Amino acid sequence: MKMFTRRTFTVSALSALTGGALLSQTLYRPGQAAEPASKETYPVTKTPEEWKQSLTPEQYRVLRGHGTERAHSSPLDKTYDPGVYNCAGCGQPLYSSRHKFNSGTGWPSFYQPIEDDAVGTSVDKSFFMTRTEVHCANCGGHLGHIFDDGPKPTGLRHCINGVALKFDPKTGA
């Protein structure tokens, strides 16, 4: 039987902390973004410099660089007032408050878009897993991901970065 020494514990702990720190920097890199590799064209197109002028650094990182905001960081996660959630990049209506639910994940969640053609999807194979990415069909901005653990009637959960949305309060939306 191998003895677990202080040296083994220290080396293991430092390795775990270093690996965790490196992983967290990979998952969350404020201010860093790269244009998506997709060459798909959208009705609204801008150069990277034009996007940087019209978006905050965090919006640019998420919408144009396929980033993810920290869970529970968006006030829109707990907003349940009537209204429409528009794309922060181009203003296209994406989701209605009628389709919003509390998923407990820390991100605004919807079981369907406001219209079927408001969003598009693609396969995301980052971080050693396969997911369905959801983006704005008008400008291609990365919104989040779709999972199959949502409520009826669709069974889907559109897990959306709050920074990718602008809420427009409306009566009866």
Residue 90 designated active-site: no
Cα radius of gyration (the chain): 19
Whole-Å CA distances, 56 to 20, 63, 96, 139, 165: 28, 10, 24, 16, 12
Q: Contact 133/44 with Cβ under 8 angstroms?
A: no
Residues recorded for the chain: 173
Q: With residue 116 as reference, give the H or E element that holds it.
A: none
| Phi, psi at 141, each rounded to 5° | -65, 135
Among candidate residues 87, 136, 139, 159, the one labeled active-site is 159
How much of the chain is in helix, strand and coil states, percent to nearest 5?
Answer: 30, 25, 45
Cα torsion 97, 100, 104, 106 to 10°: value is: -60
CA 70 to chain centre: 9
> Which residue numbers are catalytic?
159
